[in-house]
A and B are shown apart, each in its own frame.
Chain A
């Protein structure tokens, strides 16, 4: 399975995104990170650490589970329901600039669900989207603000993001014929 990103490149990409975030928002005041479960959460925590190293600011970080907002729930009359995990946003998102973090941007449906979920928590000043990999094939009008790596793929392929915190290794793999 070809590796398209190793630990080094992942770390450099996230550091670059950290600088881009600070440049675009003129500092880290009013920022908050919200990672989408599962793999968006450790990426959000790493970005918080990077922002702290660069700027000294502590950016609050939360975790969002979008299962209950999915647009494909209840479409299949018989079958197991996806497992719901806990959402933890221990701060008010009102008037903050929220950095929504996910590992892979693909159809955009997860992001759509996450936007709906976030709005139920309050009225942020802005929401910006951070992804480690953008693999294209959007089905909704959604675009990332910060991208670790643009990866043109065919829809037959699949992208595996593995993270130290969950999988014991940092890498991005691409599977299947192009």
Chain B
């Protein structure tokens, strides 16, 4: 299998091959994607990235298709990224933020979505605070559902753009040492990334204070530690996750200052990693909590590249799912 090969250049096209496709009409999570599907998305994103460097950053591919962005949780990066991706593919888009919608009048999620679907959109991109919300929609909707983050469960396009960024720097995913440090307990980014990195054959070491470590986490084939130095030692990739104050209803660590002194990524801690390490963060960053500004803005940081790559990866997902939509 050509799982880790760079994007094909002049390889002969094989239109008869039925293997180059996504099996589901929806993208609900990384769980359920195989290595071939992940590689297809990353290779397609490689082709999509070039469109962003053209004088006219638009292709006519999704002309006449309607995409609804339904965000029940605040989001700047992900929503903007999806909107730009949709517009670059010429889809008609509308974005609904819940503060201005009927949700505030007491409508249930299912009713909101049934009403939206009565207007026949082709795809619905949804973020919701409840884990499994996207799966619920996928069962009742004919439109393709793209999960843009459901509670503490999955955020598949984030993991895909992280993988794309890693592959762009390292040329592969298999065999890499990836350290993930931060609020693991509340993180959907973590769950999607672990699923993706394990499927692609990377080694993951997850690090958090024991109060923020999901119980039974080692079942996923991940090394778990509460020592940052141990996690960072020899890492090819250091990924930092945000401390999610808004999801914390208990006391998980004494103070932000103490968290930073024990777990914050500083230039000194980073020196244990490999000399060509890259530092990633899905945003939004809490500077001086999980990451020192000297690292965030330093030479190893690829944090803004992750943001640019997000558009290409989302274009790839929209394109690949548009062919499978049943909303005809």
- Taking beta carbons and an 8 Å cutoff, which residues of A are in contact with B? 37-38, 41-42, 65, 68-69, 73-74, 76-88, 116-117, 120-122, 165-167
Contact = CB atoms under 8 A, between A and B. Distances in A.
B15 interface: yes
A80 B321 CA distance: 9
A38 B13 contact: yes
A144 to B, nearest CB: 22
B225 interface: no
Contact of B47 (A41, A42, A86): A86
A84 B18 contact: no
B18 A88 contact: no
Nearest to B48: A84
B326 interface: yes
A76 B60 CA distance: 17
B326 A77 contact: yes
A76 B21 CA distance: 14
Given A74-B65, A74-B322, A80-B18, A65 B47 contact: yes
12 contacts: A42-B10, A68-B61, A69-B59, A74-B322, A74-B323, A79-B21, A79-B324, A83-B13, A85-B9, A120-B54, A120-B58, A166-B11
Contact of B10 (A82, A122, A166): A166
Contact of B20 (A76, A83, A86, A117): A83
Contacts of B176: none
Contacts of A165: 10
B155 to A, nearest CB: 23
Contact of B323 (A41, A69, A81): A81
Contact of A81 (B7, B12, B58, B319): B319
B63 to A, nearest CB: 9
The 4 closest A-B pairs by CB, nearest first: A80-B21, A81-B323, A77-B328, A68-B59
B95 interface: no
B8 A85 contact: yes
Interface in B298-323: 316, 319-320, 322-323
Interface in B27-61: 40, 43-44, 46-48, 50-51, 54-56, 58-61
A85 B15 CA distance: 13
Interface residues of B, number: 38
A81 B41 CA distance: 11
Given A68-B60, A69-B60, A86 B55 contact: no
A126 to B, nearest CB: 19
Given A65-B47, A121-B55, A80 B20 contact: yes
Given A78-B324, A81-B21, A38 B50 contact: no
B323 A80 contact: yes
Contacts of A79: 21, 323-324
Given A42-B10, A69-B61, A74-B323, 15 more contacts: A38-B13, A68-B60, A69-B59, A77-B326, A80-B18, A80-B323, A81-B319, A83-B20, A83-B44, A85-B8, A86-B9, A121-B54, A121-B56, A165-B10, A166-B12
A58 to B, nearest CB: 21
A37 B11 CA distance: 10
Given A83-B20, A86-B47, A166-B10, A116 B60 contact: yes
A78 B326 contact: yes
Contact of B7 (A86, A116, A122, A166): A86
Contact of B12 (A68, A116, A167): A167
B199 interface: no
B325 interface: yes
B50 A87 contact: yes
A85 B60 contact: no
Nearest to A116: B60
Nearest to A83: B20
Contacts of B65: 74
Interface in B43-86: 43-44, 46-48, 50-51, 54-56, 58-62, 65
A68 B235 CA distance: 38
A117 B47 CA distance: 14
B191 to A, nearest CB: 27
